[in-house]
Amino acid sequence: MEKPDGKYPIHDLLRNRWSPVAFSERLVSHEDLRALLEAARWAPSCYGDQPWVFIVATKDQPDVFDRLLRCLMDANIAWAQYAPVLMMTVARRHFTHNGQPNRYAWHDIGLAVGGMLVQATHLGLSVHQMAGFDPIKARETFAIPEDHEPVSVIAIGYHGDVGNLSEALQARETTPRSRHPLGKFVFSDTWGQVAPFIE
């Protein structure tokens, strides 16, 4: 997989991260799972509320894994079934300290997963986040209470061979990563005015 070009160098733990669809059958150790969740744990959050829950399913527990897998859309099941770990992220919708709605709950899930991504890359693991799942089925399957919302499902494992995958997925796996240029989204002074330090 092509890496981001080096015009503005970034740390290898960020540069080497990408979201594959081909996972190896190799299991993730419990030690590494703990490190992934510990990385999420130390993320910052609004009011320090830590509005995140992770429901984790590993192939050690085939029944739990299958129940989580079945919450996904078919297009995701097609490849995510081969990952050794699936995690559902769940956001607490109200602040613990005052019961008010927490507009930052999803944002803070993103921060926590952002930390997990770095730890995963450091451990040689690949991560692929999905929005394509059925939140109602997820709530029923795992008895998620009303004041919490399922946010994403994350596949985690070692990058593997594309051999199990359809041609379309194989093609996706080799598509170069691309992003908007900085000048499109880094402004200063006023909206649309590119920041002066962007060359």
Which residue in the set 107, 137, 159, 172 belongs to the binding site for a second copy (CB under 8 A)?
107
Beta carbon nearer to a second copy, 163 or 196: 196
Q: How far is the CB of 164 from a second copy (least distance, A)?
A: 22
8 A C-beta contact, residue 55 and residue 87: yes
Q: How far is the CB of 7 from a second copy (least distance, A)?
A: 8
Which residue in the set 108, 126, 155, 156 belongs to the binding site for a second copy (CB under 8 A)?
108
From CA 169, how far away is CA 20, in angstroms rounded? 10
Handedness of CA 117, 122, 125, 126 (dihedral sign): positive
From CA 160, how far away is CA 171, in angstroms rounded? 15
- Provide the CA 166 distance to its chain's centre, in angstroms: 23
Structure tokens at 150: 């399922």
Is 21 a residue that touches a second copy (CB under 8 A)?
no
Which residue in the set 20, 21, 23, 54 belongs to the binding site for a second copy (CB under 8 A)?
54
Per-residue binding string, a second copy, 132-171, x by CB under 8 A, is ----------xxxx-----xx-------------------
8 A C-beta contact, residue 41 and residue 47: no
From CA 55, how far away is CA 145, in angstroms rounded? 13
Beta carbon nearer to a second copy, 69 or 117: 117
Give the DSSP letter string of 29-85: PHHHHHHHHHHHHT---GGG---EEEEEEETTSHHHHHHHHTTB-HHHHHHHTT-SE
Beta carbon nearer to a second copy, 46 or 77: 46
Is 72 a residue that touches a second copy (CB under 8 A)?
no
From CA 3, how far away is CA 90, in angstroms rounded? 31
Q: How far is the CB of 162 from a second copy (least distance, A)?
A: 19
Q: How far is the CB of 74 from a second copy (least distance, A)?
A: 17
Is 57 a residue that touches a second copy (CB under 8 A)?
yes
List the interface residues with a second copy, window 24-53 (CB under 8 A): 30, 33-35, 37-39, 41-44, 46-47, 50, 52-53
List the interface residues with a second copy, window 169-188 (CB under 8 A): 177, 179-180, 182, 185-188
